[in-house]
Structure 1
Amino acid sequence: MKAWEKNIRTIKHPYVAGYQPKDYSVTKLNANENPYPPAPGVVKAMEEFETSSLRLYPALNADELIDEIAHFKQVKPSQVFVGVGSDDVIGMCFLTYFNSGKPILFPDITYSFYDVWADLYRIPYECPKLDEKFHIKKEDYYKDNGGIIFANPNAPTSIAVGLDFIRDVLEHNQDVIVIVDEAYIDFGGESAVSLLEEYDNLVVVQTFSKSRSLAGLRVGYCIASEELIQALNTVKFSYNSYTMNMLAIKLGAESVKDTEYFYQTIDKIIATRTWSKEQLEQLGFTCMDSSTNFLFATHKSMAAKEIFEKLQERKIYVRHFDKERIDNYLRITIGTDQQMEQLVNALKEILPDEKNING
C-alpha cells in the first residue's frame, strides 16, 4: 500500500441502489418510483421555464419551495429545510446532529443508507433487531444513545408504527435528536409532524420522490423546530450553499400546489396495492401489511432469488436483498394496474403448480 492510500476515506459497505435498466420498455418495479407522471402544473411550469435564467445562481434559501411546503404542512417556513432528495437531507442531519460520540440507534433491517452515512462521518452506531415479525421494539430505544433514526413506514418491510409508538420513543429520548424518516408516509400511517409542537428534538423527513412522482428531480425536506433548522442551514451553507437548483425549486413548488392530483395518485396506488396483495396471496405469497407504495413478500415454496431471476428474464424487475433475515423476500413496487397484471401473469408461469406439488 502506498503511504497516501491509508489516509483515503473508504466505506466498507457502500449503498447499492436498485438496478436501473437502460431499456425503458421493461416493467420496472424495483425502485419504489411512482408509476404516474408529475402533476399537470409541473409539466406546464417545465414547458414555460425560462432557460436563460440558468446563467444565474438559484435562490439561496429556496424560498418559493419552502413557502409552499410550509403552507401545505401548516408550519412556519423557518421550520422547513430542503435538500437534493431526502438522502441529502438525512445525510446533512447526520453531520449536524449526531456528534456526541455515543452510538446512534436504528433498526437492523431498514433503509440501508443509514449505516453508510454513519461510517462516512465516523459516527458509532448500534442496530437493535426487529422482532420475528419485523416490528420495531420500542424498548430497544430506551437506553443511552447519541441519537435515533428510523423509517416510518419502515423499508423494506413496509410496516408502519403509530403516533403512540413515536411519542413513547421521544419521551424516553428527550436529550437527543430523534429523526423519523417518512419517505412513504403518504401511502399509509400517521405523520409525526403533528408531534412537533410537543417535542423540540424531533425531525421529520419527507420526499418528493415517491408520492409526488419527482424521483428524477431530487427534492427532499425535513420539518423541525426553528432552532434545529437553523443549525442545519448553518452546516449546509458551510458545505454547499446552493444545493437546490432553479428548476427543482420551481417544479417542486408547483407539485405542492396541486393537492387534488396528489391525493388522486395516492388513492390509485393504494387501490392497486390492495388488488396486488390479494393476487400474490392467491399465488402462495405471504405479504406484510403494507403502508407504502410497495409490497414485501415471500413465497411458500419457491426461493425469492429464483423468482427474482426468472422475472428478470421476462424483463420484469423487482428488488431482492441478499441480506440475512430478508434474503427470501422480494420488495415489489406498486406500478400501474397494467404493470401489476403483467407481474401476476408472469408469476403464474414461473411458480410451481401447487396442485401437482400437493398431490
Structure 2
Amino acid sequence: MKFGRRHLDLVQGYVPGEQPQEEGFIKLNTNENPYPPSPRVVKVLTRISPDRMRKYPDPVFRRLRQKIALAYGVRPAQVFVGNGSDEVLSLLVRTFVDPDEKVLFTYPTYVLYETLARLNAVEHEAIELDAQFDLSEEVFRSSGKLFFIANPNSPTGKPVKSDVIRRLCDSFAGLVVADEAYADFSDTSSIPILSECPNLVILRTFSKAFSLASIRVGFALAAEDVIADLMKTKDSYNVNLLSQLAAEAAIEDIEYMRENARKIVQTRERMSASLRGLGFTVYPSGANFVLTKYNDNASPLYEELKRRKILVRYFPIRRLENCLRISVGTDAEVDALLTELGDIVRSGQ
C-alpha cells in the first residue's frame, strides 16, 4: 500500500552530485569552494560554550540578519535566513504560490526549481534559453506568480545583467527570484536595483564563495513585506546555533571570501583557456565552474575521468547531453584535470 500523496508519482526527487565513498578522488562535480573558510569560523566554532548548546538558537537570527544587512546595504527587516538557499527556494513556493498559480523558470537551469513546483503540486513552465543560453524574449512576455532566474545560471554559468533583471521585474506581475548563489564569482548582481524593484527577491548562500557548504546557510534580500511572509511559514528553529555562529564569523571577514573568489576566477580563466587549447568548446562563465563540450557524447569522457579518479558533472538531459560541467578546484587539482584530459584527447579515447 502507498501512503504518499498522489502527485508524488509525477515527482523525481532532486539528484545531487556524486559524493565519492573512496579516498583519492579529485572532486570537481558539486561546485564546492576548494579553499577553507575564514579562520574566524573555525575559531568561533571551537570556542562555543557547552551551555549554549543545550538551548534553542535565536529563532529569528537577529545578529546574523544585522550583519548581513550591514554587509549588503539593506535593513535587517529585508533579510531572511534559511537552512541553505534551497530551503528559501522551497519556502518561496510554499509561501507565495497557490495551487492554481504558476511557477516559471528557464531551461536549462537548476533542476530544483521544477522539483519544488512538482512537490507543491503547482502549475509550472520552463522557458527555453536561446542558442547562446541567454534569456529569450518570451521570458518578458510570460505571466505567473513566481519566476526563478539563476544568476549566474547553473549549469551554463551565464550571468544576467542587472538591467535585464530590472526589465523582467517591470514586465512580470509576480515575484522575480534572482538566485545569486554564484554571484561572488561574477561582476553582476541585482542588489543595486533591489530598492527599485518591490517584486524582486535576491538569494545568496554561504555554501559557495564563503566555503561553508556543510553549514547550510542561505539568505534572501527583499522588500520587508515579502520577508515578513517568509517568517510566517518557516520552521520554528530553521537555522541552528552552529550555523548562525559560523555565518556571522564568515561575513565579518568578508574580504577573506572575496580574495578566495578572486583566486577562483583567475583559475577559472586559466582552465577555460587550457580547455580551449585542447579542442573543447567552453561557454562563458561567471561562476566557480565552466560548462564545456568536446564531441557529440560527453558520457564516455565523464566515465574515463571517473576511472582516473576525477569527478566532474555530466547531465544526460536535452541540450546538455554533450556537455560536462567542471568545478574550479585548486591550481593543483586543475592541473591534474588538464593533464588527464590531454592524455585522453591525445589517445583518442
Q: Could you list the structure 1 runs, at least 4 aligned residues long, displaced by more than 6 angstroms after superposition.
A: none
Partner deviation per Cα, 1:266-298 (whole Å, 9 max, x = no partner): 111001001100110001101111100001000
Residues 189, 291 of structure 1: 8 Å contact kept: yes
Partner deviation per Cα, 1:80-109 (whole Å, 9 max, x = no partner): 000011000111011111227232211120
Give the TM-score taking structure 2 as reference length.
0.96
- Residue 39 of structure 2: aligned partner: 40
Aligned residues: 349
- Residue 263 of structure 1: aligned partner: 258
Residues 148, 179 of structure 1: 8 Å contact kept: yes
Residues 169, 197 of structure 2: 8 Å contact kept: yes
2:315 to 299, 314, 321: 321
- Residue 233 of structure 2: aligned partner: 235
- Residue 212 of structure 1 and its aligned partner are, at CA, apart by 0.3
- Residue 177 of structure 2: aligned partner: 179
- Residue 186 of structure 2: aligned partner: 188
Task: State the alpha-carbon separation in 1 of the partners of residues 7 and 266 from structure 2.
Answer: 49
- Residue 310 of structure 1 and its aligned partner are, at CA, apart by 0.4
SS in 2 for 1:82: strand
Task: State the alpha-carbon separation in 2 of the partners of residues 345 and 302 from structure 1.
Answer: 22
Task: State the alpha-carbon separation in 2 of the partners of residues 134 and 46 from structure 1.
Answer: 41
- C-alpha root-mean-square deviation of aligned residues, in Å? 1.7
Residues 130, 136 of structure 2: 8 Å contact kept: yes
Residues 38, 255 of structure 1: 8 Å contact kept: yes
Residue type of the alignment partner of 1:21: P
Q: Which moved more, 1:345-354 or 1:71-80?
A: 345-354
1:335 to 323, 326, 329: 329
Task: State the alpha-carbon separation in 2 of the partners of residues 3 and 45 from structure 1.
Answer: 46
- Residue 206 of structure 1: aligned partner: 204
Residues 79, 225 of structure 1: 8 Å contact kept: yes
Task: State the alpha-carbon separation in 2 of the partners of residues 81 and 228 from structure 1.
Answer: 9
Partner deviation per Cα, 1:53-101 (whole Å, 9 max, x = no partner): 2111111111121111111001100000000110001110111112272
The gaps in structure 2 that reach 5 residues or longer are none
Task: State the alpha-carbon separation in 2 of the partners of residues 180 and 342 from structure 1.
Answer: 34
- Residue 3 of structure 1 and its aligned partner are, at CA, apart by 7.2
Task: State the alpha-carbon separation in 2 of the partners of residues 169 and 310 from structure 1.
Answer: 42
The gaps in structure 1 that reach 5 residues or longer are none
Matched, 1:277 2:311: no
SS in 1 for 2:71: helix
SS in 2 for 1:61: coil
Give the TM-score taking structure 1 as reference length.
0.93
Partner deviation per Cα, 1:103-160 (whole Å, 9 max, x = no partner): 2211120001001100111110111111111112143332332221110100000001
Residues 130, 136 of structure 1: 8 Å contact kept: yes
- Residue 246 of structure 1: aligned partner: 241
Partner deviation per Cα, 1:217-248 (whole Å, 9 max, x = no partner): 00000000001000000111xxx210000000
Q: Percent identity at matched positions?
A: 36
- Residue 121 of structure 1: aligned partner: 120
Change (3 A) 1:6 1:187: closer
- Residue 211 of structure 1 and its aligned partner are, at CA, apart by 0.2
SS in 1 for 2:109: coil
- Residue 64 of structure 2: aligned partner: 65
